């Protein structure tokens, strides 16, 4: 199974991110993945009218797609646009999670958004995640919008996903840890580890953030639109960062 992951489109009438998305979708359509997962921040500036246009682009992949909300999305507007297409599981936290069993793998999407906040929090969702993982003893991939490991970019890490310590303890207690945790939010491609599990940050469709490691190291931003491909065809996960 090939899974394409895109994130942080941030489409608005005042930017060219729909054009960038069109290029990304042309590349994905040529690859012909089995599934497309969008890890949030689909629109920007409250452009609710943009959701149908983005959905039209996503359908060009000619495969099923799953979508998580990000902090720049309107959860209600996103739900109204896609509730008949994306099988979200809502719970007492009013989160839009998903859990899919496909070709022997468990694909789980966690809605880590907080109403009115740029940052996120995984802690309230750990009970649901535990119940979901325990339902099937299968290799799992976890997707979320907010990054759970520090990126090293201080302004971004101030609005990352809270609950990393609790999540690490949760993973350490599992009999079958997930294959990887896949996120976005940083607008840069990065890789790290949490509790021995790979933690991937997908590069963004929208223009990248600078690699601002500190005020003395300000590198120019030359990154193109980006995505990830998660290859499970051999039963072993191989994840590729792709720039277009």
Name the residue among 59, 58, 66 with its Cα closest to residue 39.
Answer: 66
Q: What is the structure's pLDDT at 93? A: 67
CA distance 46 to 40: 14
Q: What is the structure's pLDDT at 136? A: 87
Q: What is the structure's pLDDT at 223? A: 85
**Where does the pLDDT of residue 220 fall: very low under 50, low under 70, confident under 90, or very high at 90 and above?**
confident
CB 188 within 8 A of CB 204: yes
pLDDT for residue 14 is more than 80: yes
Average pLDDT over residues 186-190: 97
Q: Where are the domains of the chain?
A: 2-243
Cα–Cα distance list, 219 to 191, 192, 209 (Å) = 19, 21, 10
CB 31 within 8 A of CB 227: no
Tokens (6 digits) for 172:
């350490």
User: Residue holding tokens 């072993």?
Assistant: 236
Superfamily of chain region 2-243: Metallo-dependent phosphatases (3.60.21.10)
**Where does the pLDDT of residue 92 fall: very low under 50, low under 70, confident under 90, or very high at 90 and above?**
low
Contacts (Cβ under 8 Å, ≥6 apart) of 182: 5, 37, 39, 141, 142, 143, 144, 200, 202, 228, 230, 239
């Amino acid at each position: 199974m090939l899974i394409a992951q895109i994130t942080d489109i941030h489409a608005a009438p005042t930017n060219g991110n729909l054009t960038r998305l069109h290029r990304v979708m042309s590349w994905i359509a040529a690859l012909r993945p089995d599934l497309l997962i969008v890890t949030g921040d689909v629109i920007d500036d409250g452009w609710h009218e943009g959701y149908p246009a983005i959905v039209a682009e996503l359908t060009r992949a000619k495969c099923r797609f799953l979508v998580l909300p990000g902090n720049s999305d309107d959860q209600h507007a996103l739900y109204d646009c896609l509730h008949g297409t994306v099988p979200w599981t809502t719970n007492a936290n009013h989160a839009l999670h998903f859990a899919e069993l496909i070709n022997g793998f468990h694909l789980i999407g966690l809605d880590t958004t907080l109403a009115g906040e740029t940052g996120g929090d995984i802690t309230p969702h750990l009970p649901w995640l535990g119940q979901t993982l325990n339902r099937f003893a299968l290799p799992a991939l976890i997707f979320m919008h907010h990054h759970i490991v520090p990126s090293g970019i201080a302004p971004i890490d101030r609005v990352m996903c809270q609950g990393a310590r609790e999540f690490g303890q949760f993973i350490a207690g599992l009999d079958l840890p997930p294959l990887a945790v896949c996120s976005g939010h940083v607008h840069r491609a990065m890789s790290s580890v949490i509790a021995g599990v790979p933690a991937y940050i997908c590069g963004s469709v929208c223009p990248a953030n600078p690699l601002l490691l500190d005020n003395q190291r300000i590198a120019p931003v030359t990154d193109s639109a980006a995505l990830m491909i998660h290859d499970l065809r051999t039963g072993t996960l191989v994840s590729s960062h792709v720039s277009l």
